[in-house]
Amino acid sequence: MPASHLSHRTVVRVSPQEDGEDVVGFLQGLLTNDLSGALPVYAGLLSAQGKTMFDMIVWPGKPGELLLDCEADQADELVKRLSLYRLRRKIAIARDDGVGVHWQKQLGDGGAPDPRLGDLGERWLSPITGEEQAADEEWRAHRLSLGVPEGQAELGDILWLETNAVELHGVSFAKGCYIGQENTARMNWRQKVNRRLVVVPSGSVEEKRVKADYPDLQLAVAHLRVDDIPREHVPAWMTLEAPGG
C-alpha cells in the first residue's frame, strides 16, 4: 500500500460518560467552528485574546463522540486544556493512539476532502495495525507548496484570523460564543487583519518574522504585515483583504 500514515498526528477522543451529556455542545462553546453540521471541520482552540493555542480537524466518532485529529506532540496539552473547561461534567477526554490519521494527495473512496482546502487531498482515520507507512514528509511538502500552515510551530500565539482561518474554513461567525470569540469577531467586524501567515522562500524575509523554517524544502512560514507580503507568494486561495462575515 502507498504510504499514507501521518505519524506526527494522533486523535483525542471526547466521549459522553452518561446519558444526557452533550459532547457537541461542550466543544461548541470552546472551538472556533460550528460542530452542529456536517463533519469533518477545521477548528481552533484559542486563548481569551483570540490567539491560536491548538488547531485540529474534528471528526464524528461513535454515537455521541467527537474525535480531534491533532498534533501528537500537543495532544496531551490539548487534553489538559479541554479538561479545565469540563468541570464536573461526565465527559471523557483522552488521547487515543490506537487510531491513526491518514492522508493521500488524490481524492478517492472512503475518506473525506481536507476541510481546509480541497487541493490538500483526502484524509481518513483508521485503527493502527503496526503496518503503517509514514507519509509525513510528503504531506509537509504538499501543504507548504499550497501555502497552508498548521500546528503549534507555525500557528502558535498568532491571532486566529491572521492564520488565514477564514479562507481555510476554520471559523464560523454565525455560531454562538467560544473562547476568543470577542476579539475574533471584532477583527472581522472592523475588517482589521493587519498581518498574515504566508509561505515564502527561506531567507527572503527578516528572520524575526519567521515562525518556522524548512531548509530541506527551502521554504519558511512567516508572519508578515499584509503590505509586506510579496504578491508572487500569495496562493490562489488567499485574499489579502480583510475577511468578510
Predicted local distance difference test score (pLDDT) of residue 203: 95
From first to last of its 245 residues, the chain has per-residue pLDDT tens of 689 999 999 999 999 999 999 999 999 999 999 999 999 999 999 999 999 999 999 999 999 999 999 999 999 999 999 999 998 899 999 999 999 999 999 888 779 999 999 999 999 999 999 999 999 999 999 999 999 999 999 999 999 999 999 999 999 999 989 999 999 999 988 888 999 999 999 999 999 999 999 999 999 999 999 999 999 999 999 988 654 44
Query: Is the C-alpha dihedral spanning 117, 120, 126, 128 positive or negative?
Result: negative
Where helices occur in the chain by DSSP H, the ranges are: 23-28, 75-86, 136-145, 151-155, 181-189
Sheet of strand 99-104: strand arrangement: 99-104, 122-127, 112-113
Query: Is the C-alpha dihedral spanning 172, 143, 233, 150 positive or negative?
Result: positive
Predicted local distance difference test score (pLDDT) of residue 172: 97
User: Cα separation of 66 and 26, whole Å?
Assistant: 11
Give CA torsion, residues 88, 175, 54, 238, to 10 deg: 180
Predicted local distance difference test score (pLDDT) of residue 1: 63
User: Cα separation of 112 and 166, whole Å?
Assistant: 20
User: Cα separation of 209 and 231, whole Å?
Assistant: 17
Instruction: Give residue 173's Cα distance to chain centre.
Output: 17
Q: Tell me how far apart the terminal alpha carbons of the chain are, to the nearest angstrom.
A: 43
Predicted local distance difference test score (pLDDT) of residue 243: 47
Predicted local distance difference test score (pLDDT) of residue 112: 96
